[in-house]
Amino acid sequence: MGYIIAMAGKGGAGKTTVASLIIRSIKEQKAGSVLAIDADPNSNLGEALGLRPGRNIGAILDEISLNPGMVPSGMAKERFIEYQVQSAIQEEEGFDILSMGKPEGPGCYCYVNNVLRAVMSKLIKDYDYIIIDNEAGLEHLSRRTSRFADILIVVSDASRIGLKSAQRINNLAVQLKFEVKRSFILINRFNKHINKEAINDTGLEYLGCLPQEPLIEELSLTGGSVFNLKNEAPILTALNSLGEKIWKHN
């Protein structure tokens, strides 16, 4: 099975940026095949990677839930959903990406979500790394993707409010019975002061910190890709120094 890296963090913490930088680093170091899963309904992982939006799972499940007759006669619904998921994967140079899309609409989704989890369980076996960019609430992990990860990285700033939010996310992961081998907190936009006691209170293992990167904000404003960052950018240097704990796990 692929090595699953689940990302979480409150809105504005920078988790999508960090997820996209991890994907870039794994790709450039040729560490293995990568499947990026954008599990945040506010889908922008693809944009951070310089991609145009493609089909998403939410739209596919809407169609199937509201129009069950669209499944071709003679084809099992499970096989049809699996085919649709495969067709929604965007194949890029060095990584593939799959967007989960918006939450469920008015249809009945219990069955299709159960099938989807089974499909995703098979899919992730085809990749060396799976990076899941989650919404802060982690609901997609419970409903649609996986209840397991090798590591959970909660991205936060160093403020007390941010660290309290990280603590709530960690508690939620426990409540959802999310099985994870190691849970980390990564401090983004490091401001040279870390409250170690507050970090310990989150219940998460301290992974490290990433510096403020002005070019990241510029790229966000212009819709640019993290691949436009120069290799010597401090945030990339800092992230690569943490690679032993994040993706160099063997």
CA distances from 179 to 122, 141, 176 (A): 18, 10, 9
Residue range 124-141: mean pLDDT, rounded:
81
How would residue 112 be classed by pLDDT, with cut points 50, 70 and 90?
Answer: low
| pLDDT value, residue 185 | 96
Which helix H or strand E contains 205, and what residues bound it? Answer: strand 205-211
Helix, coil or strand: residue 237? helix
How would residue 41 be classed by pLDDT, with cut points 50, 70 and 90?
Answer: confident
Sequence-distant (≥ 6) Cβ neighbours of residue 249 within 8 angstroms: 3, 150
Residue range 20-42: mean pLDDT, rounded:
92
Sequence-distant (≥ 6) Cβ neighbours of residue 113 within 8 angstroms: 61, 143, 144
CA distances from 51 to 20, 85, 103, 182 (A): 11, 18, 22, 31
How would residue 48 be classed by pLDDT, with cut points 50, 70 and 90?
Answer: very high
Task: Dump pLDDT digits (tens) for 208-223.
Answer: 999 988 888 787 777 7
pTM: 0.90
Structure token pair of residue 62? 């809407």
Q: What domains does the chain contain, in order, with CATH numbers?
A: 3-53+128-246 (3.40.50.300)
| 131/11: higher pLDDT | 131
